Amino acid sequence: MDRLKSPARLMIVSDLDHTMVDHHDPENTSLYRFNTLWEAHYRHDSLLVFSTGRSPTLYKQLRKEKPMITPDITIMSVGTEITYGKSMVPDDGWVHVLNQKWDRDIIIQETTKFPELTRQAETEQRPHKVSFYVKKDKAKDVTNSLSKIFEERGLDVKIIYSGGIDLDILPKGAGKGQALAYLLKKFEANGKPPVNTLACGDSGNDADLFTVPGVYGVMVSNAQEELLQWHAENAKDNPKILHASERCASGIIQAIGHFNLGPNRSPRDIPDHENNVINPLPGHEIVNFNLLVEKWRLAELEKSDLFIAGLEKLTCPSGVFIHPSGTEHDIKEYVSVLRKVYGDKQGKPYRILVDNVLATQIGSDTWLLTFDKWEYSGKERQGCVVTSILKKDSDWFSWVHVHETWVEQSGENEWIL
C-alpha cells in the first residue's frame, strides 16, 4: 500500500473468474494483453487490486493455473479478506469491522433447515463467509426466507447470489463494494486517494463494486444475467458504468480507453516496427525487450542480423550476465545465445510473462530494476527473479548488468536466457 509515493494514477479493482481470467480461452490472449499493458504503462504509478469470491486456497490455485501478474492488494472470499503485497499480509482492521453483529453459528444452524442449499467445499467456508450452491429457480425464495429469519435473530447479514449457482452469506458490512470503500477511505486518510478507480466484474457479487461512489465500472461483455439485471434495475443511467463489447480482460482494456483513463494499447497489440519507443520508461523497456525475445523464439519476428546487431548495441561493453545456475558471462554472450535460439519455440504455446516490474533510479542516468520472469509452455512454467541495471544514453537504455535467480524449484529445466 505504501509502494507509491503519490496517489495512484489508476487503481483497477478486478474480479478474476470470467473477468480478468477467461476460462474459455486456453491461450489466455486477453490476459496476456492486459498483463503486458499493465507492466509497461501502469505498474510504476498505479495499483492493481484483485477482488475475488475465491478463498485464499482457491485463489492460490488459480494463480498456478493461469498466467496472472501479482496484484498490490488481494481481496478474497467476496470482500471478507484483504491482504497486501506479494507476501499477502492480512488487514486485521478489516477483520475487526466484520466481527460486528456476526454470528457464524446461527447462520449454520438456520441454513441446515433448507434442503435446497448444498454446502460448498470446506475451503470456501471462511470466518466471515458461509457458502452454498442453490439452483436458479430456488434462489429468490430461499434468499427471502433466509433474510427474514436472520433479521428475526438480530443478525445483520448480506446474501449474494452469483453465477446462477453460488449463494454467499456475509456480514452486512462485507462484500466487494464495502471492501473497496474501506480501502479508498484508508488511502484518503493517508492523503493518497487514487486519481481514478475502475471496477471490473461479470457476476452478482460484483454489483457491489459498482455502487462505490466515484468509481468507474465495466461489466465485461460476457457478464452474467444477474449482474445485467441488477444494472438494468439500479444503474442503467449511470454513465460511469460500461457494458463492454469485449470479453474478460479485453473488456477491461476497452474500458480504460472508453473512460480515457490512460494508455490502452498493449505492447502485444503494437506492430514490431512501431514498438521502438523513443524515451521509454525503464519498465516499458523491460517489457518490450522480453516481448521481442518471445517473438524471436517463436519465429514471429523476421530473422535478421539487424535485430541482433541492435541488441548488441544495447549491451554495455563491460556488462555481466549471471545465469540462474550461477554461471557468469559477458553480457555479449547473452546476445549470441539469443542468435542461436531463433524459432526454437516455433509452433509451441510459449509465452514470457513479466511480472512486478519495479524500477528505482540509483543515479542520474542509472536504474535498478527488479522483476519476475516466467516462461510458460502451455500450463508448464518456470521462473526467475531478475535484477538488472540499465543506463540511459541519450534516448536509449543500455544493459549494464543482469542477474537471474530461480523462483521455486524450477532449477533443473533448460533455461537458456
Residue type at 280?
Answer: P
**In whole angstroms, how close is the CB of 116 to ligand GLC at the nearest point?**
15
Number of residues located near ligand GLC, criterion CB under 6 A: 11
205 contacts ligand GLC (rule: CB under 6 A): yes
Place of cell 493518497: 192
Cα dihedral value 290, 292, 293, 295, nearest 10 = 120
Query: Nearer to ligand GLC by C-beta: 143 or 275?
Result: 143
Query: Nearer to ligand GLC by C-beta: 217 or 383?
Result: 217
Residue type at 62?
Answer: L
131 contacts ligand GLC (rule: CB under 6 A): yes
Candidates 39, 202, 285, 375; binder of Mg ion (CB under 5 A) is 202
166 contacts ligand GLC (rule: CB under 6 A): yes
Candidates 14, 35, 111, 120; binder of ligand GLC (CB under 6 A) is 120
Binding partner of 54, given ligand GLC, Mg ion, none, CB within 5-8 angstroms per partner class: ligand GLC
Query: Nearer to ligand GLC by C-beta: 74 or 131?
Result: 131
Candidates 17, 168, 375, 404; binder of Mg ion (CB under 5 A) is 17
Q: How far apart are CA 223 and CA 162, in angstroms?
A: 11
Q: How far apart are CA 197 and CA 212, in angstroms?
A: 10
The residue nearest ligand GLC at its CB is 53
Cα dihedral value 217, 220, 225, 227, nearest 10 = -20
Is residue 309 helix, strand or coil?
A: helix
The interface region with ligand GLC, picked from 160-168, 213-221, 238-246, 275-283 by CB under 6 A, is 160-168
In the structure grid, which three cell numbers stand for residue 61, read together? 490455485
Q: How far apart are CA 335 and CA 179, in angstroms?
A: 47
Place of cell 505498474: 43
Query: Nearer to ligand GLC by C-beta: 158 or 247?
Result: 158
Q: What sign for the dihedral angle of Cα 371, 375, 380, 382?
A: negative
Binding partner of 15, given Mg ion, ligand GLC, none, CB within 5-8 angstroms per partner class: Mg ion
Residue type at 297?
Answer: R
The interface region with Mg ion, picked from 8-16, 70-78, 227-235, 405-413 by CB under 5 A, is 8-16
Q: How far apart are CA 388 and CA 350, in angstroms?
A: 23
Residues 76/64, Cβ–Cβ less than 8 Å: no
**In whole angstroms, how close is the CB of 59 to ligand GLC at the nearest point?**
9
Binding partner of 202, given ligand GLC, Mg ion, none, CB within 5-8 angstroms per partner class: Mg ion
Query: Nearer to ligand GLC by C-beta: 161 or 259?
Result: 161
Q: Which of 297, 273, 271, 268 is nearest to 284 (CA)?
A: 268
Candidates 15, 72, 166, 294; binder of Mg ion (CB under 5 A) is 15
Binding partner of 124, given Mg ion, ligand GLC, none, CB within 5-8 angstroms per partner class: ligand GLC
- Count CB atoms within 10 A of the CB of residue 3: 13
Query: Nearer to ligand GLC by C-beta: 66 or 329?
Result: 66
Cα dihedral value 310, 312, 315, 321, nearest 10 = 130
Q: How far is CA 417 from CA 181, 194, 380, in A?
A: 44, 38, 17
The interface region with Mg ion, picked from 14-22, 109-117, 304-312, 337-345 by CB under 5 A, is 14-22
Query: Nearer to ligand GLC by C-beta: 54 or 392?
Result: 54
Q: Which of 249, 336, 227, 233 is nearest to 14 (CA)?
A: 249
Query: Nearer to ligand GLC by C-beta: 56 or 411?
Result: 56
Binding partner of 131, given Mg ion, ligand GLC, none, CB within 5-8 angstroms per partner class: ligand GLC
**In whole angstroms, how close is the CB of 303 to ligand GLC at the nearest point?**
46
- For residue 89, the cross-strand partners are 84
Binding partner of 111, given ligand GLC, Mg ion, none, CB within 5-8 angstroms per partner class: none
Residues composing the chain: 417
78 contacts ligand GLC (rule: CB under 6 A): yes
Q: How far apart are CA 54 and CA 123, in angstroms?
A: 9
Candidates 168, 202, 285, 404; binder of ligand GLC (CB under 6 A) is 168
Place of cell 539487424: 306
In the structure grid, which three cell numbers stand for residue 97, read together? 469491522
Give the chain's count of helices (H) and strands (E). 11, 18
203 contacts Mg ion (rule: CB under 5 A): yes
Q: Which of residues 25-64 bind ligand GLC (CB under 6 A)?
A: 53-54, 58
Residues in contact with Mg ion by CB under 5 A are 15, 17-18, 202-203
Q: Which residues would be at the binding site for ligand GLC (CB under 6 A)?
A: 53-54, 58, 78, 120, 124, 131, 162, 166, 168, 205
